[in-house]
Every structure is written in C-alpha cells, then in structure tokens.
Structure 1
Amino acid sequence: MGLVQPGREVLSLVLGFLGWVLIGVTLPNRYWKVSTVDGNVITTSTIYQNLWMYCASDSTGVHNCREFPSLLALSGYIQACRALMITAIAMGTFGLVATLVGMRCSRVGGENYVLKGRIAAVGGVFFILQGLCTMVAVSWYAANITREFFDPLYPGTKVSIGDGLYIGWSSGTLALIGGCCLLCSCNVKQEKLEYRFPPPSRGAGFTHSASSSQYGRNAYV
C-alpha cells in the first residue's frame, strides 16, 4: 500500500530540513565570491559579494558594504540566481509541510495510509525541486566566477569561489538525497484488497433443508 518505511521517512525529513536550513544560511552569506591576488597587484583590501551587495574590508578590519543600486542594472545570471534561490526556499517549505502531513506517525489526514503515502511522495518531489533550484543557482554563479578567473582579457579584479557557494552545494545535495529517499520509500499505487469468502457447503444446505422439511411435515403428527 502507499506506506513509507519509518526509518527512511524520518531520514528524508531530517535531510530535507537540513537542506532547507542551509538555504537560509547560503542566501544572506556575503562570501559568494572573494577577491584574490592571483595575477594582480597585492593590495590591503579584500572585496567580496553575494546576490544582494558587494563589500570591501581593509587591513584594519573595517567593512564597508553597499547594496546593488538597481535590479535592472544587474547581470542576468544574478537576477536568475536570486529567483532560483527564493524558489528553492518556497519548494523546501512545501516539502516540509507535505512530508510532515504524510508521515505515518502524524495524525493529520487520519489513518488513510494510501493518501498519506501519496502526500509524502509529493513532499519528496518538492525536496528534489528545492535541490535542483539550489544547485542550478550556485553552479551557474560559480561558472561565471571560473570563466572570469581564467579569462586573460578580463579587466576586473580576479575573484574566487567563496564559502557561501560551498554551503549552497551542501544544501542542494542534502535536499536531493532526502527527496530521492522519500520517493524510493513510497509506493503511491493503491493496492486493491480482495476479500474472498468461502462458498457455503452444499451438503450442509441440503441437510438443513431436508431436516427442516422433515420437521415441518411430521412435527405435529
């Protein structure tokens, strides 16, 4: 029936929840890209940025951050990465809710385990979508960093991959594993239960009929 094995059910929920939490850590992290001194004149300042702002810090530890001035002035991949990360948060939220409802230990939805199994499978799909959105956003951002780094004609400051991207990859991996485990544990096909009752014995019926007929005719004679 549409049941989920309890061990995999709990494991999938934990992995999906950890992936969802790491998205919340990745999105505001300022170190998506960090300046490097490779091929450049050594300076005393460090430049780093994420999807929302760019910052600079000097040797004294003073940080100065500015938000991007206009959404329309941003590069297309930054706008797409923003949309994908926000979508990943929404998908993760839906996945957590659906998984909690579809758990066998949950009282929501009653004891219709076939329906609960299907709801849990939907939660697994949401977790997979969460992981895909995160992986696409983080990998796309990292691909642009790599392209600029190895471009000898790039006039700007060379940058390298920051800690925020590694956290994002971890988030996407956990969400994908959790969603796949949940889908593999669910059988959303409803099995039809056939109830077979043994046919009545003909001998017993004839005996009963005969005895009834005998008593009916001769009982009061």
Structure 2
Amino acid sequence: MATSGLQILGFFLSLVGIAATIAAMVMVEWKKTAQGKYRSYEGFWMSCTAAQHRATCESYQSILKVQTEIQVTRAVLLVSLILSALAILVSTVGMKCTHFMDDAAESKSNTAMMGGIMFILSGLLTIIITSWFVKTIIQSSYNSIHMIRPEFGNAPFVSWIGGLLTAVGGCFLSCRRCWRSKATGSINVRHLIPTNKPKADYV
C-alpha cells in the first residue's frame, strides 16, 4: 500500500492545485487586447482597461453579456472546483492519517482511492477547458480582420498549473493499488523453497 506520507503529499499537491485554480478564476487577464497605449483585459467577473499605469475595472452587469468562451470556461471551472471540494471530503475520510473508518481498512483504502480519482478528473477538466479557451482565442485572433487582435493573458497559465497539480496529487492518492500489488507480489523467496529435505540413508 501507499504510505501515509505519500497520501499526505498527494493531498497537499491537490490543495495547492485547487488554490491555483481559484486564483486563476479571480484573475482578470484571461483575454486581452491592445490598441496603442491602451490595453483591455477580460476576466470571468469583470473587465479592466489600463493606460499609463492606471487601470479601471468594471464588474459585469449581466453574465449574458459576456462572450461565450468566457461563460463556458467559467462554468466548467466551477464544476471542477465543486468536484475538488467533494474529493477533499472523500480523501479526508479515506486517508491513513485520519481516524475515520479505522475498523474497515479495505473500505477506507477504497475511499481514499475514490478521492484521488476525483482529484484526477477535476484536474483534467481544468486542463481541458483551459486549453479549449486558449484555442478559441487563437482561432479568433487568426480570423480577425481588425487591427485589434485578441490574445490570452497570464490567467490560463495559472489555470494549467492548478489543473496539473490537482491531477498529480490525485495520482499519488489513488496509486496505492499499485503499491499493494507490488507488496503482495513480492513474496519471500524462502517460503517458496521446500524445507523438507530427503532424509539420508543411515546404516
């Protein structure tokens, strides 16, 4: 089985990944455009206009006025965070360092593995939707006939890192099945050698 330290490491990595995903959602630099000295940024909750080291931000009055790629990415990332929250609860119950379900070791082990799988799904969901958003921005930039071309900002990079850390942490949590197979497969060789030697003939 995986050691308690390996589970704690995976849980910690997943928490850091979730924090990075939350930070990316708060950031406004998801989509940016530049025109001369003016730069405009669009995030999930507000848009900002910067000029000469001064920025003015406004919250969206209605989510329906936000562009489609921002609406879809925001919704999927929220689903990913909800899945991560459930994974935290499930993993906490199943980890060896906690005292939940101590009387049912097999069920506790399976619970921790389910939490790790949920972390993996959450991280993959974050990576996929972020990649789709970046692809959409790049395509719209190539198809734009105006001088102002949209670009993706720094927030997608933070989101990618968050999704990767969450998925890697989930792999550590759910990898104990591999450790178990190794532990059960490594049988002591001495038990395989017959100990009953043929008795020698005595005169």
TM-score (norm 1): 0.74
Q: 1:102 aligns with which of 79, 94, 97?
A: 94
Q: Distance in 1 between matches of 2:39 and 2:66?
A: 21
Higher fraction of helix: 2
Q: Distance in 2 between matches of 1:152 and 1:50?
A: 20
Q: Tell me how far 1:161 sits from its aligned partner.
A: 2.2
Percent identity over paired residues: 24
Q: Counterpart in 2 of 1:48?
A: 41
Q: 2:58 aligns with which of 47, 60, 66?
A: 66
Q: Tell me how far 1:20 sits from its aligned partner.
A: 0.9
Contact 1:120 1:186 in 2 (8 A): no
Pair 1:181-2:172 in alignment: yes
> Where does structure 1 lack aligned partners over 5 or more consecutive residues?
37-41, 192-221
Q: 1:21 aligns with which of 11, 19, 22?
A: 19
Cα gap change, 1:156/1:73 in structure 2, threshold over 3 Å: closer, same or farther? farther
Contact 1:88 1:134 in 2 (8 A): yes
Q: 2:161 aligns with which of 162, 165, 170?
A: 170
Q: Distance in 1 between matches of 2:75 and 2:23?
A: 16
Q: Distance in 2 between matches of 1:156 and 1:65?
A: 23
Contact 1:4 1:103 in 2 (8 A): no
CA RMSD of aligned residues (A): 2.2
Q: Tell me how far 1:63 sits from its aligned partner.
A: 1.6
Residue 157 of structure 1 aligns with an amino acid whose one-letter code is I
Contact 1:30 1:50 in 2 (8 A): yes
Name which of structure 1's ranges 128-137 and 165-174 shifts more when overlaid on structure 2: 128-137
Q: Distance in 2 between matches of 1:97 and 1:179?
A: 13
Alignment partner of 2:143: what SS?
coil
Residue 106 of structure 1 aligns with an amino acid whose one-letter code is T
Q: Distance in 2 between matches of 1:175 and 1:44?
A: 38
Q: Distance in 1 between matches of 2:117 and 2:66?
A: 32
Pair 1:160-2:158 in alignment: no
Q: Counterpart in 1 of 2:195?
A: none
TM-score (norm 2): 0.80
Q: Tell me how far 1:97 sits from its aligned partner.
A: 1.6
Contact 1:4 1:104 in 2 (8 A): no
Alignment partner of 2:48: what SS?
strand
Q: Counterpart in 2 of 1:146?
A: 138
Q: Counterpart in 2 of 1:31?
A: 29
Q: Distance in 1 between matches of 2:23 and 2:67?
A: 23
